[in-house]
Chains A and B, each alone.
Chain A
């Protein structure tokens, strides 16, 4: 570990704190919807689609519209992938994508997972990258933020039946946040070296006289929203480790900041919306502590390096699967951030991390990606833990469970437990299936406990809608494409539906003024309780699977056992 490395983490943390409030103000303007400028395009969209943006939706209507919109997106994306060979903007002559891979990819991008069973530079045409994949980088992000808006309204409104209008939320988030930021951001990335062209490739003659085909394309336009919308699906196979996606140390810092930007802003939006900013900062603080702990642990593990290589005379930390321009600090920090959020972009190969360094990203996803989290999904996932925590506090000290002025009752707690249980059920269930079936075992690139980690990571990433991978696993088979798609779909919507149901039932309630019997949901005691509940619920459920994978792998690594 170096001073420079810690300094990078400190600079990042400071910028993150500074970012939360302005992002929150921007998000609040969209959430509120009253003070938006120049709305010609927005109104035009509503007119063509026959939408009344002021019509309030119940939680059921909101959920149904989210589901139908997402399902329609899956169908259209699938169709585009299947016929890309017949469409223009295909300079490298890519053929139709296989049905199982097309289905997996469509679900992957619509659920904001952006798991990539394919390798971008050898599978997707430029038109597909733009009109199928870039689009859903925007729309899946906007959907997540819209759902979070609806959930926040559930906490903020009193005796109301509606949670807002999905189409208005979706359109405003896209038009006034995601699109303008992406335009500026993408241009900055181009200035830093990220290509943006409709040409397919250039053939270079290297200094030694060999031919090298350099694949180009509209990379920057996808890169910007890939990071800002916590999507994570890269233009190239190597994702943000590819020098064309992430050319330098400063583009890397920018990418890391853009992953957390909206997630940090959402905590501030929540505080504003419920009329008590400290509520937002309390959530921010709990997330921040968990983030720094994970980043520090990964950095320590990666700096310690691989004893199997030290024995051969290698000096220093673990550089297998890392780029020189990022080094160990920026690679470890990126890994923690991308899995705290549901981003899943990678600037280093998690598969080649040390056992403990690779366990942190895995565990971050298993906690539910609620450490700043995916855009929108991070906040609504975290609010589930808030409900659970006031319930636990109520049981422990006999206080009546209330949160931001709403009484938490049986229905909300049951739904919260349902939303939390989806993750372990799907992750462990699907991992179990893959770990005992020949098709599942065939995909491993590594043997021993690390092979199990590859399988566990794949389903954790899919169900958590993260999209990063222990990328040695060969997942472009019908078996994995199918099971992972199941994980991604249910991992997304089996959380969204109960969360919206909670919001619907909370919105209808009266406000309970905080009394002497209320458990305070700001301050260090509350933050500590939140962290405890998150670690115990997340930790206890997944500990056995971690013991079989990364922990066994670590013991093998330090004892010099090879597989």
Chain B
């Protein structure tokens, strides 16, 4: 037993150091090198630029409060869409806090003129708090508000949403969705400048 213990010490320490160098330093360094060469846009966060200004990442949602923009889902990340503090609400199905929050958000939604059933993703917090997408139903539910705020015809705004709906891959994989940041850039007329 004592012999076995002693004989284990040297290989344990040496192998730990060797594998730390190999899998902890060489492996990520090699990958960073290849990724930066081959997929620089994705490797650096799929950033979206207006001219030289970074306005966000295509993959990360952001806060939209003014009526002229489509809004994303409620966010539990920090004070809302804080990309340094990704988080869901972690509220259980019978939590009073959850129901109160939804009641509050529904008031806003209803005040903006939505009648009928509310799409589930519209007033529920996402898992990451950074969800960049909303369902098409949630987007269509906001068309009237956005059109009024911008003084645009509803038909024009609706057509932009139509064009922004991403269908499931091969018809099976994923859910139909609308990327809120990309749609709002289209509205601002920034659609011509696509992500690098």
A contact set with B: CB distance below 8 Å: 4, 7-8, 11, 45, 48-51, 60-61, 64-65, 67-69, 72-73, 76, 119, 121-122, 130-132, 134-135, 138-139, 167, 170-171, 174, 179, 182-183, 186-187, 190-199, 201-208, 210, 212-216, 218, 220-222, 225, 236-238, 241-244, 247-250, 252-253, 305-306, 308-309, 312-327, 330-331, 346-349, 351-355, 358, 445-448, 450, 453, 470-472, 553, 556-557, 561-563
Which residues of the other chain, A, contact B42 by a CB distance below 8 angstroms? 190-195
Q: Which residue in chain B gives the minimum CB-CB distance to A196?
A: B35
Report the separation of the CA atoms of residues A237 and B13 in the bound assembly, to the nearest whole angstrom.
31
- The verdict on B181 contacting chain A, using a C-beta distance below 8 Å, is yes
Which residues of the other chain, B, contact A447 by a CB distance below 8 angstroms? 95-96
Q: Which of B157-171 contact A (CB under 8 A)?
A: 168-169, 171
- The verdict on B112 contacting chain A, using a C-beta distance below 8 Å, is no
Report the separation of the CA atoms of residues A225 and B13 in the bound assembly, to the nearest whole angstrom.
22
Whether the pair B102, A324 counts as a contact (CB closer than 8 A) is: no
Which residues of the other chain, B, contact A445 by a CB distance below 8 angstroms? 90-91
Q: Which of B3-23 contact A (CB under 8 A)?
A: 4-5, 8-16, 18-20, 22-23
Whether the pair B64, A199 counts as a contact (CB closer than 8 A) is: no
- The verdict on B103 contacting chain A, using a C-beta distance below 8 Å, is yes
Which residues of the other chain, A, contact B25 by a CB distance below 8 angstroms? 130-131
Whether the pair B123, A193 counts as a contact (CB closer than 8 A) is: no
Query: CB < 8 Å: which of B99, B102, B127, B185 contacts A323?
Result: B127
Q: Which residue in chain A gives the minimum CB-CB distance to B88?
A: A349
Whether the pair B14, A50 counts as a contact (CB closer than 8 A) is: yes
Which residues of the other chain, B, contact A316 by a CB distance below 8 angstroms? 119-120
Which residues of the other chain, A, contact B43 by a CB distance below 8 angstroms? 190, 195-197, 220
Which residues of the other chain, A, contact B34 by a CB distance below 8 angstroms? 187
14 contacts between A and B (CB under 8 A): A119-B86, A122-B85, A138-B23, A190-B39, A204-B56, A243-B59, A306-B93, A314-B118, A318-B120, A319-B124, A320-B124, A321-B127, A323-B128, A472-B91
Report the separation of the CA atoms of residues A49 and B21 in the bound assembly, to the nearest whole angstrom.
14
Among all A-B residue pairs, the 6 with the closest Cβ atoms: A249-B174, A472-B90, A241-B127, A450-B92, A327-B175, A349-B88
Q: Which residue in chain B gives the minimum CB-CB distance to A131?
A: B24
Whether the pair A324, B73 counts as a contact (CB closer than 8 A) is: yes
Whether the pair A213, B118 counts as a contact (CB closer than 8 A) is: no
Number of A-B contacts (CB under 8 A): 391
A65 to chain B, nearest CB (A): 5
Query: CB < 8 Å: which of B46, B172, B188 contacts A7?
Result: B172
Whether the pair B59, A193 counts as a contact (CB closer than 8 A) is: yes
Q: Which of B40-90 contact A (CB under 8 A)?
A: 42-47, 53-66, 69, 73, 77, 81-90
- The verdict on B117 contacting chain A, using a C-beta distance below 8 Å, is yes
Given contacts A49-B18, A68-B12, A212-B56, contact A253 B173 (CB under 8 A): yes
Query: CB < 8 Å: which of B22, B30, B91, B133 contacts A324?
Result: B133
Which residues of the other chain, B, contact A135 by a CB distance below 8 angstroms? 19-20, 23-24
Whether the pair A238, B130 counts as a contact (CB closer than 8 A) is: yes
Report the separation of the CA atoms of residues A61 and B22 in the bound assembly, to the nearest whole angstrom.
26
Report the separation of the CA atoms of residues A312 and B60 in the bound assembly, to the nearest whole angstrom.
29
Whether the pair A250, B173 counts as a contact (CB closer than 8 A) is: yes
Given contacts A4-B172, A182-B27, A325-B174, contact A314 B63 (CB under 8 A): no
Query: CB < 8 Å: which of B13, B88, B93 contacts A241?
Result: B88
- The verdict on B38 contacting chain A, using a C-beta distance below 8 Å, is yes
Find the residue from B60, B103, B174 having the highest chain A CB count within 10 A. Answer: B174
Whether the pair A207, B184 counts as a contact (CB closer than 8 A) is: yes
Report the separation of the CA atoms of residues A51 and B188 in the bound assembly, to the nearest whole angstrom.
65
Whether the pair B94, A563 counts as a contact (CB closer than 8 A) is: yes
Which residues of the other chain, A, contact B60 by a CB distance below 8 angstroms? 212, 214, 243-244
B contact set with A: CB distance below 8 Å: 1, 4-5, 8-16, 18-20, 22-25, 27-28, 30-32, 34-36, 38-39, 42-47, 53-66, 69, 73, 77, 81-96, 98-99, 102-103, 106, 117-121, 123-135, 168-169, 171-175, 177, 181, 184-185, 188
Query: CB < 8 Å: which of A45, A50, A134, A314 contacts B23?
Result: A134
Which residues of the other chain, B, contact A186 by a CB distance below 8 angstroms? 31, 35
Whether the pair B91, A446 counts as a contact (CB closer than 8 A) is: yes
Whether the pair A197, B44 counts as a contact (CB closer than 8 A) is: yes
Whether the pair B15, A69 counts as a contact (CB closer than 8 A) is: yes
Whether the pair A330, B31 counts as a contact (CB closer than 8 A) is: no
Q: Which residue in chain B gives the minimum CB-CB distance to A237?
A: B86
Whether the pair B99, A214 counts as a contact (CB closer than 8 A) is: no
* Apart from A134-B27, A222-B28, 13 more pairs, CB < 8 Å: A68-B9, A72-B13, A121-B86, A215-B84, A243-B59, A243-B131, A253-B173, A314-B123, A325-B175, A352-B92, A562-B94, A563-B92, A563-B95
Q: Which residue in chain A gives the minimum CB-CB distance to B91?
A: A352
Which residues of the other chain, A, contact B174 by a CB distance below 8 angstroms? 248-250, 252, 325-327, 330
Whether the pair B64, A207 counts as a contact (CB closer than 8 A) is: yes
Whether the pair A60, B93 counts as a contact (CB closer than 8 A) is: no
A359 to chain B, nearest CB (A): 12
Whether the pair A453, B92 counts as a contact (CB closer than 8 A) is: yes
Q: Which residue in chain A gives the minimum CB-CB distance to B134?
A: A324
Which residues of the other chain, A, contact B19 by a CB distance below 8 angstroms? 135, 138-139, 174
Given contacts A48-B14, A314-B117, contact A212 B81 (CB under 8 A): yes
Report the separation of the CA atoms of residues A250 and B28 in the bound assembly, to the nearest whole angstrom.
23
Given contacts A131-B20, A187-B35, A327-B175, contact A352 B5 (CB under 8 A): no
Which residues of the other chain, B, contact A306 by a CB distance below 8 angstroms? 93
Find the residue from B1, B43, B61, B169 having the highest chain A CB count within 10 A. Answer: B43
Query: CB < 8 Å: which of B45, B86, B125, B131 contacts A216?
Result: B45
Which residues of the other chain, A, contact B168 by a CB distance below 8 angstroms? 4, 249
Which residues of the other chain, B, contact A198 by a CB distance below 8 angstroms? 32
Query: CB < 8 Å: which of B30, B66, B102 contacts A208?
Result: B66
